[in-house]
Amino acid sequence: MHSKNIVAIGGGGFGRSLGALEIEKYIISLINKKRPKICFIPTASGDSNLYKLNFYRAFSKLDCITSHIDFFSRTENLEEKVLTQDIIYVGGGNTKSMLAVWKEWKLCEILRNAYEKGIVMSGVSAGAICWFEKGITDSYAEKLAIIDCLGIVKGIACPHFDEEKEREPYVNDVINREIIKSCICIEGNCALHVKNNIDYSSIDFGNGRKCFRLFKENNTLKKEII
Average pLDDT over residues 138-156: 94
Tens-digit pLDDT profile for residues 187-212: 999 999 999 999 999 999 988 899 99
Return the percentage of the chain with pLDDT > 90, whole number.
92
Average pLDDT over residues 150-176: 95
Asked if residues 224 and 212 have their Cβ atoms less than 8 Å apart, the reply is: yes
Q: How many whole angstroms separate alpha carbon 194 and alpha carbon 122?
A: 10
Residues annotated as catalytic are 125, 160
Sheet holding 220-225, edge to edge: 145-148, 132-137, 153-158, 182-186, 211-217, 220-225
What is the pTM (predicted TM-score) of this model?
A: 0.96
Helix pair 95-104, 107-116: axis angle to 10 deg: 90
Average pLDDT over residues 24-32: 95
pLDDT score of 98: 98
pLDDT score of 1: 66
